[in-house]
Amino acid sequence: MADVAGLPSAGASASRAGRMASTDATVVARMKIAGGIALGKANCHELAFGGPSFDLPYPPARNPWNRDRFPGGSSSGSGVTVIAVLAATMDHVGPVARTADDTRILFDVMAGRSPGPPCSGSLYGLRIGVPSDDWGVGSLMHPDVQTGLEGAIDVARSEGAEIVPLELPSLDDFHAPATILMMAEIAAEHAASVRAAWDKFGAIFRARALVGEGITAEDYRLAERLRPVLTRRLFDAISSVDCLLVAGALAPPGALASVDSFYFMKEPIPNIVANYTGFPALAFPAGVSSEGMPIGVQIMGVPGSEHRLLDIAENYERADPSRFAAGTPPDFGNAASLAFPTGSAPIEPCET
């Protein structure tokens, strides 16, 4: 959670009920200096990790495209959520916005740098890398996600970009050590608090926070030793192209009520690569699934290529706005419908 002075900052957890922020987080302070106005706080999974949960004093965030579907992990798809330390070496701060241009403005302010130049040009002449073997997850990729990814490749090719197959470590190669680091660091930060105040945490967060206690120091050190090796291999591969284009997730959003508590450990997650390596990545829409749910792709680059990625995303928006620009959920104009799904009871508004 990003602290905003004078506003609640509970991280959707009863363990922090009543916690008020006395000062602004650095990223919030920079936003205010640049003229930003904090309109409120977005809810998140418990401490940006334990959800979707129905046993908390706060309701789980719901996907606005279908309120019975999962909105995504950690930030619940609603905004940037920063924990004081969730996973010390894996957390990164980044903006969430409706357009690439808005994201560019937010990124520059958050990074404390001068605004980057406006986007110019097109996808013509760019070299866009793709994993040569589906990153080893072709059999796990949902057909709708595959269609969205292939559509992004086809549009880039039709706009004059060169599609370059790249030999990369498999997604599993990144996912396994990254998950070990994440779970061990979460246990180090939160397990003692969970054991000391069991009833102050939701069941999902309790289970996830304690799993990492079973990770040995040797396994943690191995995951750490692999990090620079895999980072170098990724750097060597994608430094020859303008970006790497991959799926944002392997499947469209699932049902909110039946999300597996350990889904992120059972199948590789494409966006964990950026967390593990620290490389910049940008996710953007790439159409909708057969059930009308948004499909996303992500582009990744070498360190320092943030503005290049923003340019590429903006040029995708220009090339096909109906596919690559953020759409509007069907009930977007119906605030009551979004707030209170059919059959649910109104709740008191809360800020986390």
Question: For the segment 284-340, what is each residue's pLDDT rounded down to a tens digit?
Answer: 999 999 998 889 999 999 999 999 999 999 999 999 998 988 777 776 655 444 443
Max mean pLDDT among 13-22, 240-249, 260-269, 342-351 falls in 240-249
Cβ of 38: how many Cβ atoms within 10 Å? Answer: 14
- Name which residue leads in pLDDT, 338 or 24: 24
Is residue 2 in a domain?
A: no
- What 3-state class would DSSP assign to 205? helix
Task: Report yes or no on 342 lying in a domain.
Answer: no
Residue 45 structure tokens: 């999974």
Asked if the structure places residue 84 within a domain, the reply is yes
- pLDDT confidence of residue 191: 95
Res 345: pLDDT? 35
Which residues make Cβ contacts (< 8 Å) with residue 343, sequence separation at least 6? Answer: none
**How many domains does the chain fold into?**
1
Mean pLDDT computed over 338-352 = 37
pLDDT at 92 over 90: no
pLDDT digits (tens, 9 = 90+) for 194-228: 999 999 998 888 999 999 999 999 999 999 999 99
Selected residue with higher pLDDT from 55 and 192: 192
Q: Where are the alpha helices (DSSP H) in the chain?
A: 26-33, 100-111, 143-158, 171-196, 203-211, 217-238, 263-266, 272-277, 306-319, 321-324, 335-339
Name the pTM for this structure: 0.81
Edge-to-edge order in the sheet of strand 162-166: 162-166, 127-131, 243-247, 294-300, 281-288
> pLDDT tens, 248-290?
999 988 888 788 888 888 889 998 999 999 999 999 999 999 9
Query: Is 253 inside a domain boundary?
Result: yes
Asked whether the beta carbons of 265 and 306 are under 8 A apart, the reply is: no
- Residue 351 within a domain: no
Residue 63 domain flag? yes
**Rounded (10°) CA dihedral 209, 214, 216, 220:** -30
Is 5 among the domain residues? no
Q: Which domain holds residue 252?
A: 14-325
Mean pLDDT over the full length of the chain: 84
User: Prior bond to 253 cis, omega within 30?
Assistant: no
CATH of the domain at 24: 3.90.1300.10
From 81-90, 134-143, 264-273, 301-310, the region with the lowest mean pLDDT: 81-90
Asked whether residue 42 carries a pLDDT value surpassing 50, the answer given is: yes
Q: Is residue 193 included in any domain, yes or no?
A: yes
At residue 317, the 3 state secondary structure works out as: helix
pLDDT tier at 246, thresholds 50, 70, 90: very high
pLDDT of residue 127: 97
For residue 129, the model assigns a pLDDT of: 98
